[in-house]
């Protein structure tokens, strides 16, 4: 009987390894560990009078362990499959990103961890002529489980204001107006956190993103603008954050240095209601904004 795919690992080279499903000689067994709420780390200060105060609390990384049972027609066959598994999982060196461990939840959803293989294959246990038991360990600096399905939302214009004249200008006289628009969207997060990616299409000036839930804002120096047909891409993921502008000729420029003092790219959606507001001037009919994000969960269940 065919078993559904339940666990898949993708290494930094893009190679996928089926860890639990049909067509592989191993299957996951009971003993999974490290999939609950991640541990927290405290920063404390001890004062001269002996009082200790907690100054900050942050989430630490997680280590996940999966247990497997491998069967094979003979030991030589199992050794060959085991050798291929080691070559796919074991990685060293420097990378901008490592692997992804994808897991199927009990309700059929898939989530993934950003992680790297960290051990388990160095010690093969309980080997005999018919079976082999082993463990796989994965280290995750980012402890959140992310949905594989990306959510997308277009910010809606809640208001727009322009300048109206009750008289006509003479021939040859032009007025350059500045139209103001407010885009708003309410995001209700059932997950712990999400780091959105934002795609904004011009024309637009005075661009300012704000989240009422945490008071954080992304805005730019005075004079920064997007011309008609230009695009702005903002990524708020920690360690991968950027602000890039794409010109009408397709040239991409990093404009992170044009963020104004007080702005931050550590700009996340948090659990609960997030009222996101985008304030702009100089907009036109082509102006649009798309939000994309994956919900991050504290645990697998």
SS3 75: helix
Mean pLDDT of 25-37: 90
The answer to whether 66 touches 19, Cβ cutoff 8 Å, is yes
Can you say whether the dihedral through the CA atoms of 265, 266, 270, 274 is positive or negative?
Answer: negative
Which has more pLDDT, 90 or 22?
90
Q: pTM of the entire structure? A: 0.83
pLDDT tens digit string along 121-178? 876 555 665 677 889 999 999 999 999 999 998 876 654 444 333 434 344 433 344 4
Rg (CA), the chain: 26
Can you say whether the dihedral through the CA atoms of 255, 256, 259, 264 is positive or negative?
Answer: positive
Domains annotated for the chain, with CATH where assigned, are 7-147 (2.40.30.200), 151-295 (2.60.120.860)
pLDDT tens digit string along 48-78? 998 999 999 988 899 999 999 887 667 777 7
Q: Burial of 75 by CB count in 10 Å (0-12 exposed, 13-18 middle, 19+ buried)?
A: middle
The answer to whether 270 touches 193, Cβ cutoff 8 Å, is yes
Mean pLDDT of 272-283: 92
């Amino acid at each position: 009987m065919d078993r559904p795919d339940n666990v898949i690992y993708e290494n930094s080279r893009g190679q996928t390894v089926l860890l639990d499903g049909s067509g592989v000689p191993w299957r996951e067994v009971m003993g999974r560990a490290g999939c609950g709420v991640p541990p927290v780390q405290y920063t404390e200060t001890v004062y001269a009078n002996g009082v200790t105060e907690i100054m900050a609390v942050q989430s630490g990384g997680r280590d996940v362990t999966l247990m497997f049972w491998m069967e094979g027609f003979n030991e030589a066959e199992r050794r060959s499959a085991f050798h291929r598994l080691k070559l796919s999982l074991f990685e060293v060196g420097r990378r901008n990103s490592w692997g992804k461990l994808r897991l199927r939840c009990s309700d059929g959803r898939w989530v993934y961890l950003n992680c790297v293989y960290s051990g388990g294959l160095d010690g093969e246990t309980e080997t005999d002529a018919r079976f082999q038991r082993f463990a796989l360990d994965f280290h995750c600096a980012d402890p959140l489980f992310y949905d594989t399905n990306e959510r997308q939302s277009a910010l809606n214009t809640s208001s727009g204001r322009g300048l109206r004249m009750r008289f006509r200008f003479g021939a040859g006289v032009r007025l350059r107006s500045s139209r103001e628009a407010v885009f708003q969207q309410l995001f209700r997060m059932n997950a712990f956190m999400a780091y959105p990616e934002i795609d904004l299409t011009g024309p637009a000036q005075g661009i300012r993103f704000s989240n009422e839930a945490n008071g954080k804002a992304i805005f730019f120096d005075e004079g920064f603008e997007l011309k008609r047909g230009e695009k702005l891409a903002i990524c708020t993921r920690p360690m991968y954050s950027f602000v890039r502008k794409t010109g009408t000729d397709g040239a991409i420029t990093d404009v992170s240095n044009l963020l104004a003092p007080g702005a931050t790219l550590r700009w996340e959606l948090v659990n609960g209601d997030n009222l996101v507001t985008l304030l702009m001037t100089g907009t036109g009919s082509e102006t649009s904004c798309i939000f994309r994000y994956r919900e991050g969960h504290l645990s697998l269940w």
